[in-house]
Amino acid sequence: MKKAELIAPHTGIPSFYKAPVVDIDKVQKGDAVIAGVPMDHGIVLTRTGTRYGPRAIREASLFYRAVQEGASEKTSVNVQTKKAQRLKERIKLVDVGDIPIYPQDIEKTSESITEDVAFLVENETLPVLLGGDHYITYPAFEGLCKGVSVLKNNAKVGHIHIDSHTDFRDSYAGLGKFNHGTSVRRLSENPMIEYKNIAWVGLNGNVLDSDIYNIYKKEGLRMITSDDIVDKGIESAIVEAVEAAADGTDAVYLSIDIDVVDTAYAPGTGIPVFEGITSKDFLIATEILSKYKIIKAIDLCEVSPPFDPSERTAYLAANGLVTLLSPYIFDVVDAE
């Protein structure tokens, strides 16, 4: 069959960015590995729909691949930064489909996520999870710790949480300890991480209960708010977060909740937020983060397509991920 010269976004298998689809046991060292986690049974108080997030993000990413393929010499130049990038001959990105989930069994789903992330880390790839609700961060972080422990004895791990919410509650009354509002508290209980290596970016609104506030004061938790970002800039905020998470650690887990972005830009999520960061700051953050090799696992969560018929939330998420993974996708070239 003749191969098309242009990859039209509505054709072919809708893997993330048209990356090759491979079985998880066929991944290669040094690759970034996309894995969907289509679940929302970690949502307990708000609107469900994040189970459709991975598919929506993949679909949106196809547009960005088509644009790059259609550019002269597959090279694009950012009109603002004048940075030129060319699609690699072989992109170091693959898509392994979705991690098995069990909608009525959060414990079994957690084990599935942990097992697959640990396998990917042990094989020295970069797991990139498409959520799904934000509970997935906890079992995925456990997988990172498990995988890193195989590669290095006595390893330490840090965590960056880009979100409007802390996800640091111990539990919700009557709703248990394992949901999208408790993931950071649960991962903080792992002996491989210390409070000083956890950094939040983009917090806003009434997100601290008295228990969280007391720990915040006692431990000096690193919480960077959306107002801080307005005052000192997104670059300063991201650098501060990375420095905190990476201080004395061997690996950093990066988790992004799309609701860190104001609802005006990203309405397709479970919890509308009205003091979030801008889409521009979100994309700048992903570009800065793309430079840090200490980040060894990533997730992007809480895209909920039913609440955004315009699809702009999924497109923003896909744009951010392509930017974040640019070292695996593009070669930086001379713009001339």
Residue 185: partners with Cβ closer than 8 Å, 6 or more residues away: 167, 168, 169, 170, 177
Largest CA distance in the chain: 65
**From the CB of residue 78, how many other CB atoms can be counted at a distance below 10 Å?**
11
Count how many residues are written for the chain.
336
* Identity at 172, one-letter amino acid code: Y
pLDDT tens string, the chain, 336 residues long: the values are 344 455 788 888 999 999 999 999 999 999 999 999 999 988 777 799 999 999 999 999 999 999 999 999 999 999 998 999 999 999 999 999 999 999 989 999 999 999 999 999 999 999 999 999 999 999 999 999 999 999 999 999 999 999 999 999 999 767 789 999 999 999 999 999 999 999 999 999 988 889 999 999 999 999 999 999 999 999 999 999 999 999 999 999 999 999 999 999 999 999 989 999 999 999 999 999 999 999 999 999 999 999 999 999 999 999 999 999 999 999 999 877
Paired tokens of 300 = 């992007």
Residue 123: CA count within 13 A, CB half-sphere: 18
- Report pTM: 0.96
For residues 111 and 136, is the Cβ–Cβ distance under 8 A? no
Domain boundaries, the chain: 16-333
Residue 214: CA count within 13 A, CB half-sphere: 5
Query: Strand 330-333 to strand 84-87: parallel, antiparallel, or no bridges (unpaired)?
Result: antiparallel
- Quote the CATH superfamily of domain 16-333: Ureohydrolase domain (3.40.800.10)
The C-alpha atoms of residue 165 and residue 286 are separated, in whole angstroms, by 19
